[in-house]
Amino acid sequence: MKLLEDLGLDWAFFPIGGYYTMDVDDAIKAAQFVNCRNIIGIHYNTFPPIRVDTEEATQRFEANGLHLYLPKIGESMTL
């Protein structure tokens, strides 16, 4: 991931569920590795083992100078 830090990424998609994938803390570290401030969280809250407190996750990203976007299922975003 450190190889991506000089690409100037505006957005990145990172899993935050933590059971089968990285968790919130890992995603924060990954965002810092790739030097990207806008993160769209994926692979979370679809079944019990990957439940995430979305408010807490958003606050933890913000505390690290990052923005976490958590679109609802079926919601679209324009980047």
Please tell me the pTM assigned to this model.
0.92
Instruction: Note the pLDDT tens digit of each residue in 3-34.
Output: 899 999 999 999 999 999 999 999 999 999 99
Rounded CA-CA distance 29/25 in Å is 6
Over 90: is that where the pLDDT of 60 sits?
yes
Domain boundaries, the chain: 2-69
What is the per-residue pLDDT for 79? 86
Determine the average pLDDT of the residues in 52-68.
98
